[in-house]
Every structure is written in structure tokens, then in C-alpha cells.
Structure 1
């Protein structure tokens, strides 16, 4: 059994970690990040799902035998109020389990919502050709999403489709590009092929993320 006091104190320590949630389950509490299970507060102890990289951080961690989570093995995390170590453990567990499979964006959505407007479809298609070619040339995508005729081959992107640099800036770069190209005027055709603006956004994000 885990006390509410322990759960509340744990949450206060970790609430600054993005998308952390603690949810009561019977007499204990399940720990989630981005809606996915990564561990449990059990008998006033933190147990995280054992992963290869987590075990490197805690090589002497004890596997919990009394808590059954199917095929997952859980290990007890001793962090002694070291918040940086706790944060590292939580992020490492999540990344090992889920990060590569996390959904980044679905560009087909824009085609679906504009399917009745042919002019908009053409514009959307062309601005994505510019964006995807730029991202591949800059090493943000592992595989070229365009064929030799510049036809878009991939509409859905996961973190696994991105390079290490891509996971840091692809999503934000994409949003900036959509905002910039979301105008219909006499410069629309120039705007959707303006790689100089993409380069400006790219360099700014590089500097921000220190890539």
C-alpha cells in the first residue's frame, strides 16, 4: 500500500516534468508520462519499468518480485531526493519504451479537411514538397519522403522516422512553416517555395536547441 502523502510528495517533485501523471490504482499509484505507463508507486517505493539504459544508470537496482505487471520487469529506483537523477530515470524509461514510436505529425490531415477545395489541395501539396525536401537535405529525416518526381511517399511521421536532430526541431519547424504559408494573396506561390524562410527558421531553432 502506498500512502496518499507519499504519492502527493512524489507528484510535487515531478510535476515539472512534462506530461507526468500519477493515478490511484487499488492501494497504489500508477505513474504515466504522455499517457503511457512507465512505473508505479508501490509500498511507498518508486518502481520503474526496467529498460537497458535505465539499468545502466542504476546497475545495482533491485527487481521487484512482489508486484506483477505481466511481461514487464520493474526495478526499484533509489534517488535519495536527487531530483536530477529522478528526472533522468523517468525520461530514460519513457524514451526507451515509447519515444521512437511516438507520433509526430500526420500531414494527410490537411488534405482531408481541404478535400473540397482543389486550389487549396494543390497549394498544400506543394508547400509540403518544399518542406519535406528541405528537411531531408538538412538531415532531419532518415529516409527521403519524396520520389524522383517529387511525389510525396510518406504522410505520417513518427520519432523513429527522424534523425536525432530531427526529433529536436522537426515539429516546431513544421508549425512555423504552416503559419508562414497560411496566407492566400498574390505572393502565395512565392511563399510556398521560399526555402530562405525555412533556412531562417531552421537556423533559429538550431541556435535555440544548440544542435
Structure 2
């Protein structure tokens, strides 16, 4: 059994992590980030799912054998007083389990919802050629998503397809680009190839995040 006092303490120690949640389950609690479980509070102990990088952070952590969580192995995190270390442990666990496999975007979805409008399909395809080429040239994508004829090879992108800077920049840059190109007028063709606007957005984001370009 885990007390509410201990659950509140763990939440207070980890609330600096985005979208962290502690939810009661029977007499104990489950720890979630972004709606995905990363650990449990069991008998007033913090247990996190054992991952490669978490084990490097806590090389002497003991595997918890009295708590059965299917195919997951959990390790006991004893040092819960160090708030910064604990938040780091939570982020590492989530990243190892889920982050690299999370979808960033599915370009093919835009083609599906516009399949009856050929002009829109052509526009969407071309604006993505511009965007993807720019992202690869800026080192945001690990592998070039275009072939030598500038045909799009990949429609679905995971965090694992992005570089370290890509995971920080790609989503916001993509949103800005879609808003900018979401117009149909006599300047549409110029807009969807306007890399100067992409450069402006890119520089604004890296300045805000203080990232070296």
C-alpha cells in the first residue's frame, strides 16, 4: 500500500516534467507521462521501468521483484530527495520507452483528406518538397527524405528520424510553414517555394530556444 502523502511527494518532486501524472490504482499508484505509464509507486517506493539509459544513471539500482507488471522490469529508485535527478530519471525513462517511436507527422494524411482535389494534392506535395529539403539541409532530419529527382520517399516521420536539433525545431517550424502556405491566391506558387520565409521562421525558433545553428 502506498500512502497519499508519499504519492503527493513524488508528484511534487517530478511536476517539473511536462504532462506528468500520478494516478491511484487499487492501493498503490501508477506514474504517467503524456498518458503513457513509466513507473509505479508501490509500498511507498518509487519504481521506474528499467531501461538502458536509466540503468546507466542508477547502476546500483535493485530490480523490484515483488511487483508484477507484465513484461516490464522495474527498478527501485531510492534517491527521491534530489528533485533534479528524479526529473532527469523520469525523462530518460519516457524517452527510452516511447519518445523515439512517437509520430511527429504523417504527410500521407493530408493527401487522403484532399484526395478529391487534385490542385490541392499538387500544392501539398510541392510545399512538402520545399519543407523537407530545407529540414535536411539544416540538419534536422537524419536521412534525406527526397530522391535525386526531388520525389518524396518518406511520408511518415518519427522522433527517431530527427536529429537532436530536429526534435526541438521540426514541429514548430512545420506548423508555421503550414499556416503560411495555407492560402490559395495568385501568390500560391511563389509561397510554397519561399525558402526565405522558412529561413526566417527557422532563425526565430533557434533564437528563442538558444540553439546554435
Common fold, TM-score beyond 0.5? Answer: yes
Q: CA deviation at 1:152?
A: 1.2
Distance change in 2, residues 1:164/1:55 (3 Å):
same
Equivalent residue number for residue 34 of structure 1:
34
2:16/2:87 contact within 8 Å kept: no
Q: Secondary structure of the residue that 1:38 maps to in structure 2?
A: strand
TM-score (norm 1): 0.93
Q: Which residue of 2 aligns with 1:208?
A: 208
**Runs of at least 4 residues of structure 1 off by over 4 A?**
none
| Mapping 1:88-99, distance limit 5 Å | 88-99=88-99
Give unpaired runs (5+ residues) of structure 2. none
1:1-211 equivalent positions in 2, closer than 5 A: 1-211=1-211
**Higher deviation after alignment, 4-13 or 91-100:** 4-13
CA–CA distance in structure 1, aligned partners of residues 199 and 84 of structure 2: 35
Offset, 1:26: 2.0
Gap runs ≥5 in structure 1: none
Structure 2: distance between partners of 1:100 and 1:34: 14
The residue matched to 1:70 in structure 2 has which SS?
coil
Residue 4 of structure 1 and its aligned partner are, at CA, apart by: 2.2
Q: TM-score, normalised by structure 2?
A: 0.93
Distance 1:14 1:56 in 2: 20
Paired with 1:4 and 1:208, the residues of 2 have a C-alpha distance of 39
